Copies of this chain bind each other. A is one copy, B any other.
Amino acid sequence: MPHFLSTADADFEDRFAALLTMKREDSPDVDAAVADIIADVRARGDAAVIELTSKFDRLDLAPETLAFGRDEWEAEIAKVPDDEREALELAAERIRAYHARQMPENEQWKGPHGETLGWRWGPVSAAGLYVPGGLASYPSSVLMNAIPAQVAGVERLVVTAPTPDGKANPLVLLAAKLAGVETVYRVGGAQAIAALAYGTETIAPVDKITGPGNAFVAAAKRRVFGRVGIDMIAGPSEILVIADRGNDPDWVALDLLSQAEHDESAQSILITTDHKFGLAVAGAVDERLERLERGAIAGASWRDFGAIITVRNLGEAAALADQIAPEHLELCVDDPEALAANISHAGAMFLGKWTPEAIGDYIGGPNHVLPTARSARFSSGLSVMDFLKRTTMAKMTPGALKAIGPAAETLARSESLQAHGLSVRARLDQLNE
């Protein structure tokens, strides 16, 4: 049974607040262990990486086998069935087309005194993408991380992916190839993040690290942040569906379950204007859960964190959605555009009943790396921008310096930064000679 709430209930505010602040993740504190691993990789390089890979992944490597050779890589890719290859190619094409539109323009203009102002964008030189091993080794995530980097123009793009017991995921290797990845290292965990950030004899350091991972990977990314750029630290998946009675309860149930099946800590919430519809969805969820492959995981998520909230109208739904600031937001209502216009905070919106969230996970085009845990209030999904940086440009003329230099001098004096003021004054003095 999920949590049932209604805005008409007297205790609604408290129960809704409890839902929002529910601690969903039980992250073990692995920070000390991660600090040791990073120090070890910094000190011993390849030797540490190889030793840790032997220990954690039961795989014995040498410096020359840390990366997949081109032949091995191709041999793995050859195992991918045709339908999966074609689906992945279509996904790559659509994701690339969407992200290509994100490339920003350089700007340059003249200020009022003839000075030139503007900025210029450029890619980071090298990026490393972390791909988890085991069950969470998703080829779709490889595309979602690597294609924006490729579109941005990143010159050197590498992947680290653990291969426990030497077992690789052929689809992950195909996705890496489709997205222009240069090298795939069979290394995982904090040791992979340390190698990407600091480099080893074999693994050259990168400037930016992205991609999901377990608690060790997350802690390591947090630690190397500043030395290199990182993407967000993602929490468990979330979906909010706003649906009126004009929907098939089974469709909505499946949409809710498609997040719940990710993780016992995932959270699926339905907001509906029709209490009976909500009950029908709850029934459909239970029915589907009985036969779902990952029913145990999805069931635990739905029981502990799932919720069905009945509201009086879509205005209430929009206000609650902004408080939830969901990672994924499905709007299964007659006029989804009108509802979307009233909601400010969401990572990704899926408009209308023909847009199940799963389309966005794979093939829609938008990125599926999205802000979780209410961080859509202040952050965005992964994009081309994450692999670009901006250099601002300014060029004064003597006339411009005469016009605005004295104000800079005044402000420098007010901040007691004398040399700042003198650097302007020395030039003004020559102009006034």
Question: A405 in the interface, Cβ–Cβ < 8 Å?
Answer: yes
Count this chain's copies in the assembly.
2
Assess whether A104 is interfacial by the CB under 8 Å rule: yes
Q: Chain B residue with minimal CB distance to A373?
A: B226
CB pair B407–A358 under 8 Å, yes or no, is no
Interface membership of A244, Cβ < 8 A: no
Whether A56 is near chain B, meaning CB under 8 Å from some CB there, is no
Nearest Cβ in chain B — how far from A425, in angstroms? 9
Q: Are A377 and B423 within 8 A (Cβ)?
A: no
- Contact yes or no, A356 B389, CB < 8 A: no
Q: Which B residues lie within 8 Å of A54 (CB)?
A: none
> Do A261 and B293 have beta carbons less than 8 Å apart?
no
Which of B288, B378, B410, B422 is A228 in contact with, Cβ under 8 Å?
Answer: B378
* Distance in Å: Cβ of A296 to nearest Cβ of chain B: 13
| Interface pick from A158-166, A177-185, A345-353 | A345-353
Closest to A341 in B: B120
Q: How far is the CB of A112 from chain B (nearest CB, A)?
A: 9
Inter-chain CA distance A98–B359, complex, in Å, is 39
Q: Which of B135, B250, B350, B363 contacts A426 (CB 8 A)?
A: B250
**CB closest residue in chain B, given A407:** B87
The CB with the most chain B CB atoms within 10 A, among A117, A139, A356, A367, is that of A356
A55: CB under 8 A from chain B?
no
Known: A140-B415, A358-B412. A392 touches B367 (CB 8 A): yes
- Given the interface pairs A366-B117, A423-B255, the reply to whether A349 lies near B228 with Cβ below 8 Å is no
CB <8 Å contact, B423 and A357: yes
| CB-contact partner of A233 in B226, B254, B255, under 8 A | B226
Within 8 A of B (CB), among A337-391: 340, 344-367, 370-371, 373, 375-381, 383, 385, 389-391
By beta carbon, the residue of chain B nearest A343 is B391
Chain B proximity mask over A75-113: 1 for CB below 8 Å, otherwise 0: 000000001101110110010011001001001010100
Q: Encode contact with B along A118-134: 1 for CB under 8 Å, 0 otherwise.
A: 01101011000000000
Q: Nearest Cβ in chain B — how far from A81, in angstroms?
A: 9
Can you name the residue of chain B whose Cβ is closest to the Cβ of A361? B420
Is there an interface contact between B362 and A407, defined as CB atoms closer than 8 Å? yes
B398 touches A358 (CB 8 A): no
Contacts of A430 in B (CB 8 A): 248
- Bound-state CA distance A405–B355 (Å) is 10
Tell me if A404 counts as interface (CB < 8 A to partner B). Answer: yes
Question: What 0/1 readout, one digit per residue, does chain A (53-71) give for beta carbons within 8 Å of chain B?
Answer: 0000000000000000000
- A93 nearest CB across to chain B (Å): 10
Q: Does A236 contact B (CB under 8 A)?
A: no
CA gap between A355 and B430 in the complex, in Å: 14
Q: Which residues of B contact A375 (CB under 8 A)?
A: 226, 229
Distance, CA A394 to CA B420, complexed state (A): 50
User: Which residues on B sit within 8 Å (CB–CB) of A410?
Assistant: 83-84, 86-87
Contact in complex: B394, A356 (CB < 8 Å) = no
Quick check: B101 and A109 within 8 Å, CB to CB? yes
A396 neighbours in B (Cβ, 8 Å)? 352, 354-355, 359, 364
- For residue A414, CB closer than 8 A to chain B, the reply is yes
Most chain B Cβ neighbours within 10 Å, of A207, A228, A397 = A207
CB distance from A71 to the nearest CB of B (A): 24
Nearest CB on B from A261, distance (A): 5
**Cβ–Cβ < 8 Å partners of A340 in chain B:** 120, 393
Q: Does A401 contact B (CB under 8 A)?
A: yes
Give me 9 A-to-B residue pairs in the complex whose CB atoms sit less than 8 angstroms apart, sorted by A's number: A111-B365, A139-B414, A140-B411, A250-B426, A257-B422, A258-B422, A354-B398, A356-B423, A380-B391
Q: Which 10 A-B pairs rank lowest in CB-CB distance, beginning with the nearest?
A: A229-B378, A366-B392, A351-B395, A87-B407, A254-B423, A257-B419, A358-B420, A87-B410, A380-B390, A356-B423
